[in-house]
Structure 1
Amino acid sequence: MAPQNDEQSPRRIAIPPRAGVGLKPEHYRTILDTNPDIGFFEVHAENYMGAGGLPHRYLSRIRDNFPLSLHGVGLSIGADRSLDRDHLKRLSELIERYQPGLFSEHLAWSTHDTAYFDDLLPVPYTAETLSRVVSHIDEVQETLGRQMLLENPSTYLAFAESTYSEIDFIAEIVRRTGCGLLLDVNNVHVAATNQQWDPIRYIDEYPLPHVQEIHLAGYTREADEKGRTLLIDTHDRPVDEIVWGLYGHTITRLGPQPTLIEWDAKIPTWTELKAEAERAEAIMFAIGRKEQSRARFG
C-alpha cells in the first residue's frame, strides 16, 4: 500500500475527551447515512493493511467526518525476536494515510519464529523482558515518527520469574521510552479477579498522568478446574456493572479521557453499541461536573 502524498493525506485530528466505538463493517452504512453524534472511531490496524478495496473506501469516508484512533494487535511488542519490519512498514504507511489522532498497541506477544498466534500472550516482568520491550517501542516510535500508547494486559496467571510488579514494569517502560498509556479498565478487572488483587489499588497506583485513552469491554465468566471464578476477556457483550464502577473511579482520578467501547465478537446492533458509548460519556461528564462544582464551592 503506497502512502498518499501530503495533498491527499488528511491532517491529524486529536481525539476528544468523549466516548467512541470500534468501527465494524456491519455499521458502515448506518454511520454514513446517519452521521451519528459519536466522539471517535477506532480500528484495528491489521484489518486495513491491504492496498485498497471496500474497507478503505468506507474508512476514508468515515475518516472525513470523525476523528480516528488506530489500535494495533500484531506488532508483538513483547516477543523474544525482532519486530517484523514488513509489518511495521505497512503500519507506518497506514498511519501516514489516515493520520489517526492516537495509535496504540498491547503489552503482549503473538509471534514466535514463523508462527502467528490468535491470542495476545503475556510477558514475564523481568529486566530482560523490560529491555526487549523498551527496544521494540523505541523502534516503533522512531519508525512512525510519533508516540505510541501501550495497553495494560488482561492476564490469568502470574509468572513466577517476574521481578517487577505490573505497575512498576509499565512505569519503567514509560520512563525509558516516553510512550503514552492506554488504560483498559476491563483488563484491570479481569486480571484482578483472576489473580485476586485489588483493582482500585491498581488504578490508584497506575502511572495515570501518562494515560491518553481508556478502553471498556465485556468479558465471559467461567470457572477453573478448582471451581474458582475465571474471567475471559472476550469483547463480546456489554460492559459489566463492576467495570462501569471502576471506570467511574478512574475518571474521578483522571478527568474526562477518550474512552472506547470495545465489542469485537457477536457484534451488536448500532443502537446497542452507541448506547454503551452514551453511558460512558454520561459517566464522564457527570463526574466532570461534580468535580468542577467541588472545586468551585469547596
Structure 2
Amino acid sequence: MSPTAGLGLKPQHFAEAIACPAAGLWFEIHAENYMVDGGPRLAMLDALRGERPLSVHGVGLSIASAEAPDPIHLNKLTRLVERCEPFLVSEHLAWCSLGERCFPDLLPFPRSSDALRLIVRNIDIVQTALRRPILIENPTVYMELDGHDWSETAFLSELVARTGCGLLVDLNNIVVSGHNLGFDPTEYLCELPGHAIGEYHLAGHSRDSAADLLIDSHDAPVADTVWALFDEAVRRFGCRPT
C-alpha cells in the first residue's frame, strides 16, 4: 500500500465515497460497526472493498485490560478481517470493558511492568487469531495517573519489541495529551521507534476552557499544531498512509 491519504468512512457518506475519483484514496472503518452477520452495512462494505483499499480500526478489543480479549468479539473481528482483507488493522492502547461491563470510553491505565506483560499477552492473542501484525494507537490522556514504571513512548517501544506489532501514531492525540499533561509533543514524537510506524492519524479537537483541557472530540478541523507535528513526523520518519 502506497503512503496515500485515507478518510474515516461514515455510512451516510457511502454514495460520495464510492463515487469519489481521487487517486490513491482509501477508507478506514470502525470494526465494531460492521461486525454483523449480514444486512446493508456488509453489502456497503463489500461494494466499497471492490473499489478502494480498506483499513480496519478497532475500538472494542480492550487491549489494555487485565483480562484476555473476549473470544466472541475477537472471532467477529477475525471474520470481518477475512471478509474485507484490509491492508492495515489497528486498535487503541486502552481498555473499555471489565467482565460483562462495557464502558463508553477508551480508558487509561498505569504503565506498570505487570500491565506490559498482560498487554503483550493480549496483543499476541489478537495477532495469532488474525494471523497478521496489528498497529497499536497511542492514547489520549486527560490527567496524570500514579503507578507508571515506563514512559508512554518507552512502553510503546517495548510492545513493538516484544510482539512485533506496529504503531498507529495519532498526531492529534499527542498534541492533546501534551497540552493536558504538560509535555512537548515534538520530544514525544522523537522518542518513538520510527521503523514501527505503519500509519498516521489526523483529527480535530476541542477545548474545555473551564478545565484548560483539550478534548479528542473529532468535531473540528485539524489544528495548526497538529499539522505542524505531522510535518515533523513526515520529515523525521517519512510518509505513511494517513
- 1:224 Cα shift? 4.8
Q: Which residue of 2 aligns with 1:63?
A: 49
Q: Which residue of 2 aligns with 1:45?
A: 31
Rate the CA distance shift 1:138–1:250 in 2: closer, same or farther, 3 A: same
Question: Could you tell me which of 141, 144, 155 is aligned with 1:158?
Answer: 144
Q: Which residue of 1 aligns with 2:113?
A: 127
| Residue-pair matches, total | 242
- 1:26 Cα shift? 1.7
Rate the CA distance shift 1:211–1:34 in 2: closer, same or farther, 3 A: closer
**Percent same amino acid among aligned pairs?**
44
Q: Which residue of 2 aligns with 1:90?
A: 76
RMSD: 1.1
Are 1:249 and 2:235 matched, yes or no? no
Q: Which residue of 2 aligns with 1:8?
A: none
- 1:184 Cα shift? 0.3
- Aligned counterparts of 2:24 and 2:59: Cα–Cα separation in 1: 24
Tell me the TM-score normalised to structure 1 length: 0.79
Q: Which amino acid aligns with 2:239?
A: P
Rate the CA distance shift 1:203–1:34 in 2: closer, same or farther, 3 A: closer
Q: Which residue of 2 aligns with 1:238?
A: 221
- 1:38 Cα shift? 4.7
Unaligned runs of 5+ in 2: none
Unaligned runs of 5+ in 1: 1-14, 260-298
Q: Which residue of 1 aligns with 2:176?
A: 190
| 1:230-276 Cα distance to aligned partner (Å, 9 max, x none) | 001011121011100110011001111100xxxxxxxxxxxxxxxxx
Secondary structure of 1:16's match?
coil
- Aligned counterparts of 1:211 and 1:69: Cα–Cα separation in 2: 15
Secondary structure of 1:258's match?
coil
The structure having more radius of gyration, on CA atoms, is 1
Tell me the TM-score normalised to structure 2 length: 0.97
Are 1:20 and 2:3 matched, yes or no? no
| 1:189-240 Cα distance to aligned partner (Å, 9 max, x none) | 0000000001010111111110010000001111355xxx200101112101
Question: Given that residues 111 and 150 in structure 2 are in contact (C-alpha distance below 8 angstroms), is that contact kept between their aligned partners in structure 1?
Answer: yes
Q: Which residue of 2 aligns with 1:33?
A: 19
Are 1:207 and 2:223 matched, yes or no? no
Q: Which amino acid aligns with 2:140?
A: S
- Aligned counterparts of 2:19 and 2:180: Cα–Cα separation in 1: 42
Q: Which amino acid aligns with 2:236?
A: R
Question: Given that residues 18 and 51 in structure 2 are in contact (C-alpha distance below 8 angstroms), is that contact kept between their aligned partners in structure 1?
Answer: no
Q: Which residue of 1 aligns with 2:58?
A: 72
- Aligned counterparts of 1:82 and 1:256: Cα–Cα separation in 2: 34
- 1:108 Cα shift? 0.2
Rate the CA distance shift 1:39–1:32 in 2: closer, same or farther, 3 A: closer
| 1:109-160 Cα distance to aligned partner (Å, 9 max, x none) | 0001211011000111101100010000000001110001000001011221
- 1:83 Cα shift? 1.3
Judge which range, 23-32 or 173-182, deviates more.
Answer: 23-32
Question: Given that residues 16 and 39 in structure 1 are in contact (C-alpha distance below 8 angstroms), is that contact kept between their aligned partners in structure 2?
Answer: no
Rate the CA distance shift 1:34–1:198 in 2: closer, same or farther, 3 A: closer
- Aligned counterparts of 1:33 and 1:198: Cα–Cα separation in 2: 41
Structure of higher RCO (CA pairs closer than 8 Å, 6+ residues apart): 1
Secondary structure of 1:217's match?
coil
Question: Given that residues 158 and 195 in structure 1 are in contact (C-alpha distance below 8 angstroms), is that contact kept between their aligned partners in structure 2?
Answer: yes
Judge which range, 15-24 or 33-42, deviates more.
Answer: 33-42
Q: Which amino acid aligns with 1:132?
A: L
Question: Given that residues 30 and 57 in structure 2 are in contact (C-alpha distance below 8 angstroms), is that contact kept between their aligned partners in structure 1?
Answer: yes
Q: Which residue of 1 aligns with 2:88?
A: 102
